[in-house]
């Protein structure tokens, strides 16, 4: 049951094949068994069971709220959840319990979803590995998969199995790991520079970044106001579309959400791609791209072409400057957004009482890690009067050029762009930490952050396993507010490539009952 799609489980719930409480308990049990992944910071067991009981009552009366009623979901720990600790994996907010729900959380709860817990991330969502939070790094479930382990046995013998575990990517690594390990059906992440798509690619799940302005940011602890977007992680494209349909729409509490009416949509099944034009940005073919990812990217392009789509090379000339531009704009907005953490109204407060300035400074020193402090200081540098024009405003101008590049490409008849999501498959933690956070972010965000600067929708879809048995995902980028079209193309692709299901041995040995149910009578989908 845990391996099914949202629609299948929803149908099973309606038909009484499984109850929300059973589903909840299985997920909770799996969360406990996979605790070593460190995907969750807080597991809201009591809350989830209570929600499950209420959902069960609704199903008994035949009044289910919709496709998400009774479905276990997880939320990244930088979304405010009323009554549940929200830490952003930082000492600054450790122990902070918000008095309200983020709009997207509220929407999920209003649909009857069961909140399993808050997932782990890089501190304040700054990072590309989910390794820099105070609760420790998140481990990629694929490190423990049969597919990966078998390939490793061929290479090395007698090595300590756990010492070389792989990162999940970041910063929504906890959410990606939670979905990948079947502990929930969908998870919320956030995406500022690729933070949802990057871990999705490394963990073999679907990671959707909706168009900026489509989904409310109210309650998402902000990093970069002009680029942040709540992200959706699921095991298949259809599920992502279902969740998007629920989350999208104008929110009076977030004035940057568009006012155009938005309705939940069902993804059409595309059969004929002959009218589709796929663009391949040539500047994304960088020397750092691993040959395996490059060959899969080629293979994907050929797949579209062989089925009749038009596949053309396009140019995004300012690509090489986008990471620099992002670096300046991101640190500048961060410097501003982090100013709210002064210890007075919420969050950590130091013991110093000499003066406000002393108190603020010590609180912030104790509350933030090096990465956050580094970005605040860089941002303040770029915002100094003498630097403002040359750095901040300059970056804003370059941002326009980058956004324009995309507009030009889409105006020339391209429907969707196809690019890699990451440079390579997930790497071992020991290798990842050899470079500092900023360097890693600059490398890993290469393909993903230009999309945030232009506010476009993008989705990472797992394509195939690498020669090491690890997932590789590819990214589709769509026109602004054409999320439905983007997902339709992604769904077509997903069906063609048939990405394999992760085989988690640890779990299979203990929880064979979970997977045995797969063989039982099929569920009728209406």
Partner 1 sequence: MWVRAVWLGLRASAGGRRGFSSKADPQGSRRVTAELIEHLERLALVDFGSQEAVARLEKAIAFADRLRAVDTDGVEPMESVLEDRCLYLRSDNVVEGNCAEELLQNSHRVVEEYFVAPPGMCCPKWLNRLSHSKLRMQ
Question: What residues numbered 474-503 form the site for partner 1, per CB under 8 A?
Answer: 480
Contact with partner 1 (CB under 8 A): which of 11, 134, 277, 361? 361
**288 is a contact residue toward partner 1 (CB under 8 A):** no
**275 is a contact residue toward partner 1 (CB under 8 A):** no
Residues 6+ apart with CB under 8 A from 222: 228, 337
**192 is a contact residue toward partner 1 (CB under 8 A):** no
Tokens of residue 182, six digits:
């079947």
Would you say the C-alpha torsion 149, 152, 154, 160 has a positive or negative sign?
negative
Q: Name 473's bridge partners.
A: 462
Identify residues 402-421 at the interface with partner 1 (CB under 8 A). 403
**250 is a contact residue toward partner 1 (CB under 8 A):** yes
State the nearest-atom distance from the C-beta of 45 to partner 1, in Å.
Answer: 23
Tokens of residue 238, six digits:
């259809």
Could you tell me how many residues of this chain bind partner 1 (CB under 8 A)? 72
CA dist 55 and 70 (Å) reads 5
Identify residues 100-159 at the interface with partner 1 (CB under 8 A). none
228, 485, 484, 178: which is closest to 337 by C-alpha? 228
**362 is a contact residue toward partner 1 (CB under 8 A):** yes
The residue count of the chain comes to: 526
**431 is a contact residue toward partner 1 (CB under 8 A):** no
Contact with partner 1 (CB under 8 A): which of 148, 182, 212, 304? 212
**316 is a contact residue toward partner 1 (CB under 8 A):** no
Using the contact rule CB under 8 A, the part of the chain among 36-44, 146-154, 291-299, 368-376 near partner 1 is 368-376
State the nearest-atom distance from the C-beta of 48 to partner 1, in Å.
Answer: 23
**286 is a contact residue toward partner 1 (CB under 8 A):** no
Structure letter (DSSP) for residue 393: I
State the nearest-atom distance from the C-beta of 318 to partner 1, in Å.
Answer: 7
Taking the least distance from each CB to partner 1, the nearer of 110 and 370 is 370
Phi, psi of 399 (to 5 degrees): -60, -40
Q: Are the beta carbons of 180 and 143 closer than 8 angstroms?
A: no
State the nearest-atom distance from the C-beta of 212 to partner 1, in Å.
Answer: 5
Contact with partner 1 (CB under 8 A): which of 91, 164, 294, 396? 396
**525 is a contact residue toward partner 1 (CB under 8 A):** no
Inter-residue long-range contacts of 511-518, CB under 8 Å, 24+ positions, other chains counted:
511/26, 511/29, 511/30, 511/33, 514/1, 514/2, 514/3, 514/26, 514/30, 514/182, 515/3, 517/1, 518/1, 518/3, 518/4
Identify residues 338-357 at the interface with partner 1 (CB under 8 A). 342-347, 349, 351-357
Could you list the active site residues?
76, 171, 195
**435 is a contact residue toward partner 1 (CB under 8 A):** no
**221 is a contact residue toward partner 1 (CB under 8 A):** no
Render 257-303 in DSSP notation, one character per residue.
S--S-----PPP-----TT-EEEEEGGG--TTS-HHHHHHHHHHHHH
Query: 280: how many CB neighbours lie within 10 A of its CB?
Result: 19
């Amino acid at each position: 049951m845990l391996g099914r799609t949202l629609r299948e489980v929803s149908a099973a719930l309606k038909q009484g094949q499984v109850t929300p409480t059973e589903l909840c308990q299985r997920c909770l049990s799996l969360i406990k068994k996979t605790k070593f992944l460190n995907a969750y910071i807080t597991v809201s067991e009591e809350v989830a069971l209570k929600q499950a009981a209420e959902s069960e009552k609704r199903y008994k009366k035949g009044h289910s709220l919709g496709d998400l009623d009774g479905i276990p979901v997880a939320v990244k720990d930088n979304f405010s959840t009323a009554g549940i600790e929200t830490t952003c994996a930082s000492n600054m907010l450790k122990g902070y319990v918000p008095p309200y729900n983020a709009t997207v959380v509220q929407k999920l709860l209003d649909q009857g979803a069961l909140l399993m817990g808050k997932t782990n991330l890089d501190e304040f969502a700054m990072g590309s590995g989910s390794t820099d939070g105070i609760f420790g790094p998140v481990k990629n479930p694929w490190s423990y998969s049969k597919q990966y382990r078998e390939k490793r046995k061929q290479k090395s013998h007698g090595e300590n199995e756990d010492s070389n575990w792989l990162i999940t990517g970041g910063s929504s690594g906890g959410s990606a790991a939670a979905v990948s390990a079947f502990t929930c059906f969908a998870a919320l992440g956030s995406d500022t520079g690729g933070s949802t798509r990057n871990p999705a690619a490394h963990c073999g799940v679907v990671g959707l970044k909706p168009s900026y302005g489509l989904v409310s940011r109210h309650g998402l602890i902000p990093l970069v106001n002009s680029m942040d977007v709540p992200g959706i992680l699921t095991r298949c494209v259809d599920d992502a579309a279902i969740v998007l349909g629920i989350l999208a729409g104008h929110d009076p509490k977030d004035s940057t959400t568009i006012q155009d009416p938005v309705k939940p949509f069902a993804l059409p099944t595309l059969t004929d791609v002959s009218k589709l034009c796929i663009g391949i940005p040539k500047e994304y073919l960088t020397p750092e791209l691993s040959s395996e990812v490059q060959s899969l990217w080629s293979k994907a392009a050929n797949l579209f072409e062989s089925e009749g789509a038009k596949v053309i090379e396009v140019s995004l000339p300012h690509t090489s400057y986008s990471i620099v531009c992002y670096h300046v704009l991101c640190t500048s907005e961060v410097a501003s957004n982090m100013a709210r953490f002064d210890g007075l109204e919420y969050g950590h407060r130091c013991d110093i009482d000499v003066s406000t300035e002393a108190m603020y400074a010590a609180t912030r020193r104790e509350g933030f890690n090096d990465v956050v402090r580094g970005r605040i200081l860089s941002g303040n540098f770029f915002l100094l009067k003498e630097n403002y024009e040359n750095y901040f405003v300059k970056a804003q101008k370059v941002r326009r050029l980058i956004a324009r590049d995309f507009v030009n490409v889409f105006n020339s008849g391209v429907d969707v762009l196809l690019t890699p999501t990451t440079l390579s498959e997930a790497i071992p933690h020991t290798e990842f930490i050899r470079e500092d956070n900023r360097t890693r972010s600059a490398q890993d965000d290469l393909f993903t952050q230009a999309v945030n600067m232009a506010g476009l929708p993008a989705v990472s879809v797992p394509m195939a396993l690498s020669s090491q048995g690890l997932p590789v995902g590819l990214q589709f980028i769509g026109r602004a507010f054409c999320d439905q079209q983007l997902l339709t193309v992604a769904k077509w692709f997903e069906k063609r490539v048939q990405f394999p299901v992760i085989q988690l041995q640890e779990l299979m040995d203990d929880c064979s009952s979970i997977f045995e149910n797969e063989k039982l009578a099929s569920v009728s989908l209406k």
